[in-house]
Amino acid sequence: MSNAMYNKMWHQTQEALNSLLDKESQLLEPQRNQVFIFQTLATYYIKYVQIFGNLENVYDQIVHPQKRRLIRKILDGVMGRILELKNEMVELELTEFHYFDDILQDLKLAPQQLDIPIPKYFLKEKMDVIKEREKILAQILAASGLDVTDTVWRGFHQNKKTEREREEEMVFLGMNPPPLFNKVSATIIQAEKVISLRNEVQSRHEEDYKEALITIKDSLKLVEGTDIKENLQDQIRHWFIECRNLTGTFPNYPKEEEGGSAVIFSNKTTEQVIDDIIASREEDEKTKKKKKTKKEKKPKNAKKDKEKKETKEKNKEEDEGWKMSPSVFLPTMEEGNNVYKDLWKNKDESWNFPQDYDPELIKEEKRKELESEIRVQVDELMRQELKNLKLAVNREKELPAKTGKKGGKKKNKGKKGKKRKKDKDLTADRTIESLYKELVEEGLLIQALKVNLSDYIGEYSYLGTTLRQVSIEPMPSLLDVRQLIALYGVLPLGSAAVHEKAPLVKSLLLAGPSGVGKKMLVHAICTETGANLFDLSAANIAGKYPGKNGLQMMLHMVFKVAHQLQPSVVWIGDTEKTFYKKVPSAERMMEPKRLKKQLPKILKLLKPDDRILIVGTTKRPFDAELQSFCRVYQKIILIPRPDYASRYVLWKEIIQRNGGVVTNALNISCLAKVTDGFTQGHIVQVVKGVLTDRRIRQQIHKPLTAIEFIESITSMSPVYQEEEESFKDWYSKTPMGRKRALALTGGTTEKEKDKGKKKEKKGRKEKKKK
């Protein structure tokens, strides 16, 4: 695609965004219809996801540096708004999973178009840093005599599984693609060349733009600096004189910390400033009169009136119904959209075919910057001039400003008392590099496997809405899970602007049977965002940094490095062990509960500007003490065994990845039906076992059949329906699960619950009396 095509795509996307922002601004009335509310939220969400996909593509490909800056601002705004709408839907439906089949049908969209795009800039803009870090990591591992793969896989296989199982999982994760996958078509090679050239142009234009910012500002300073200074001085002098003529006194000059003269003259003429002064004086007089009359007419029952007013307001709020929560990202998008309309929508760019920077826009921007800098110098001069004028004309010395020493001291004392004690830096004398090295050598900072989120194969659930309409709670599909990982893990970690303002997710729990790809998803979050991966699994920290002080030091080091080199993922594998109800005797020596008391404290310390995500994985959540478990893990994602649609896609994809050829002789549908209950891990194992080098060579004469795979799978134990039900039962006891169950059973309120408890107590007392 050419520059013109991407420009056209941007204009179309901005039109769609403009239309959606108009609709958002019209949704002001409170709503009571639950179905209408969800349909509205879901429609906005879906449309923003479409806009997000297009904007991401445009930002990645457009080469104009000034356009890219604006697109990036809007792109981050759209990402943040998607997360806000997701949060609204979760609070409305009391579930992490939503089904949009009917809305998608109305909008004529396929479910695949709901896929959350992962911006390429997450990695592209810090590729050098990531490569350097990977190089250092490899060097530390080599110098320590640790094999890279051994260290990596320690986190995956604490109990040292066989080499063959390791290889199977590596293939499943997309690390060892089959020979056929390496054959790339000429079209793809050509497309990659075009992308590479575009990236070069993008970088060159960016460098030229940064240079121009300096040279153009220097040129403006030389040519226009003196004029700007003189104009500012004339404007301020005029303000002094006019103000005295109209009000009888000279004005007070705003202090530097208040913004100086810029506060008064922001986009205003001197006449407008004078009008403002007169208006404010009149307003002051009016308010003084009002205060006097209020004091005279004080009602006797003021307290009662206040209470009545409060109860009225509360009742009004309850009757009002649902209202959209205020958005942090809508103003950002609106501002960006207005800049687009004013600057780029109808701009003639026939002169700028290569799409290099626009010098006139830089001049405009730098002129304002230069004016601000010169204004600071002018303010100093004019403050002194005003002082001299007052002395000369009024013959009155300025009284020294009241310092209010007593009050000031008291205030300071109060502030000092409120200040929170800053945490002591236990490693103030050490460099981040030395801490990083130690954590790698101790196996606490591990190398993330190169696996993309798109490698987590699955299919959408097409019956979600239908099942919910007949009060059956569907199990989420694998692609529903993938969506949540993108929303709660990848997008906030990838963008600092989004993480800082979006609904904050500090911790995530992935719960599901063995073999469904929980650990793979942890590695995918790191791959997509370039995040560091720390392993604080109970088995991995056993015997390391012993004692209370040792534990404190370990956590201090981990989170100091995680913060300094953010984004970072802190993974706790088999996390139920950290929260055991009862520690098995065989594991007592390991001290699996070492982190239990520390994790809630750590979570409290994480702030919106800390791009650190704690991710726990568990195949036995029922072994954990529920209350403390749920206190640490803010979001719980239940990962199911694959359904029929996902098994169909998995069989086909994994067979092809391992060199198999799918022909009419191979009934994939039959394979998907008979393998109900089997996970991705099972499928990989079977495919790997059947597709030996010899069998791959024989395919020309003897095509693959379903029976070959079925024979291998009969010796394996599936995840039975009962096990899946036990996960569902466990989830129903979590805070979100309980809220949802309560809403489905007619929404028994907490007050009604309390009444019930009181009745029970009364009943017991009466029984005792009898």
Determine the pLDDT at residue 403: 45
Q: How far apart are CA 379 and CA 385, in angstroms?
A: 10
Q: How far apart are CA 558 and CA 427, in angstroms?
A: 11
**Helix, strand or coil for residue 188?**
helix
Contact between 506 and 488 under an 8 Å Cβ cutoff? The reply is no
Amino acid at 54: N
For residue 186, pLDDT over 90 is answered with no
- Cβ burial, residue 515 (10 Å; 0-12/13-18/19+): buried
Condensed to tens digits (0 to 9), the pLDDT of residues 26-41 reads: 877 888 888 899 999 9
d(CA 455, CA 525): 12
Q: Which residues pair with 507 in a beta bridge?
A: 614
- In what helix (H) or strand (E) does residue 519 lie, and over which residues does it extend? helix 518-529
Q: What is the pLDDT of residue 323?
A: 86
* DSSP states along 217-279: HHHHHHHHHHHHHHHHHHHHHHHHHHHHHHHSSPPPPPPGGGTTTHHHHTT--HHHHHHHHHH
- Determine contact, residues 82/445, Cβ cutoff 8 Å: no
Q: Compute how many other C-beta atoms are within 10 angstroms of the C-beta atom of residue 501.
A: 19
**3-state DSSP call for residue 459?**
coil
Return the DSSP state at 656.
H
Alpha helices in 62-158 (DSSP H): 65-93, 101-106, 121-124, 127-143, 148-156
Helix count (H) and strand count (E) of the chain?
33, 6
- Higher-confidence residue of 246 and 746: namely 246
Question: What pLDDT does 527 receive?
Answer: 94
**Residue 508, both tokens:** 């995530």
pLDDT score of 180:
47
- Model confidence at 313: pLDDT above 90: no
Q: Is 613 helix (H, G, I), strand (E, B) or coil?
A: strand
DSSP 8-state assignment for residue 342: I
In terms of average pLDDT, the best of 263-267, 298-302, 671-675, 716-720 is 671-675
- Looking at residue 315, its pLDDT comes to 55
pLDDT digits (tens, 9 = 90+) for 622-669: 999 999 999 999 999 999 888 888 899 999 999 998 899 999 999 999
For residue 330, give the 3-state DSSP assignment.
Answer: helix
Q: Dihedral sign, CA of 732, 738, 743, 745?
A: positive
- 519-555 in b/e form (b: 16+ CB < 10 A) is bbbbbbbbbbbbbbbbbbbbbbbeeebeeeeebeebb
Rounded average pLDDT over 101-127: 87
Q: What's residue 159's pLDDT?
A: 42
How far are the Cα atoms of 137, 307, 318 from residue 312, in angstroms, in the given order? 63, 9, 10
- 321 — pLDDT class (breaks 50, 70, 90): confident
Tokens read off for 473: 């709670």
Q: Which residue has the higher pLDDT, 470 or 136?
A: 136
Instruction: Write the CB contacts of 524 (distance below 8 Å, at least 6 apart in sequence).
Output: 451, 452, 453, 455, 456, 485, 490
Torsion of CA 99, 105, 107, 111, to 10 degrees: 50
Q: Give the pLDDT of residue 280.
A: 66
The pLDDT tens digits of the residues spanning 390-446 come to 887 766 544 454 444 444 444 444 444 444 455 678 888 889 999 999 999 999 999
**Predicted pLDDT at 267:** 62
Confidence band, pLDDT 50/70/90 cuts, at residue 241: confident
* 205-221 pLDDT, tens digit each: 989 999 999 999 898 88
Distance CA 104, CA 102 (A): 5
Which pLDDT tens digit goes with each residue over 735-768?
998 888 888 776 544 444 444 444 444 555 554 4
**What are the tens digits of pLDDT across the range 408-419?**
444 444 444 444
Distance of CA 689 to the CA centre of its chain: 40
Average pLDDT over residues 538-565: 92
Q: Are 483 and 489 in contact (CB under 8 A)?
A: no
Q: Find the mean pLDDT for residues 484-501.
A: 94
What is the Cα–Cα distance from 313 to 306, expressed in whole angstroms?
11
Torsion of CA 556, 557, 561, 566, to 10 degrees: -40
In contact, 583 and 592? CB cutoff 8 Å = yes
* 162 CB neighbour count, 10 Å cutoff: 9
| Interacting residues of 766 by C-beta distance below 8 A, sequence separation 6+ | none
What is the average pLDDT across 86-112?
88
Q: What is the mean pLDDT of residues 106-133?
A: 88
State both tokens at 21: 């922002």
The residues near 139 (Cβ < 8 Å, ≥ 6 apart) are none
Which of 265, 260, 274, 267 lies closest to 235 in space, CA to CA?
265
Kindly tell me the burial class for residue 496, based on how many C-beta atoms sit within 10 Å of its own C-beta (0-12, 13-18, 19 or more). middle
Kindly give, in sequence order, each residue whose CB lies less than 8 Å from that of residue 358, ignoring residues fewer than 6 positions away: 66, 352
Among the residue ranges 47-51, 63-67, 321-325, 362-366, the one predicted with the least confidence is 321-325
Task: Look at residue 251 in the predicted model and tell me its pLDDT.
Answer: 82
Between strands 507-511 and 635-638, the pairing is parallel
Fill in the DSSP letter of residue 585. Answer: G
193-207, 309-323, 607-621 — most confident range: 607-621
β-bridge mates for residue 535, sequence order:
571
CA–CA separation, 130 and 137 (whole Å):
10
Over the chain, what is the mean pLDDT?
A: 82
pLDDT (tens digit, 9 = 90+) per residue, 510-546?
A: 999 998 999 999 999 999 999 999 999 999 999 899 9
User: Model pTM greater than 0.85?
Assistant: no
SS3 461: coil
The pLDDT score that the predictor gives to residue 410 is 42
Q: How many residues does the chain have?
A: 770
pLDDT digits (tens, 9 = 90+) for 685-723: 899 999 999 999 999 999 999 999 998 888 888 888 888
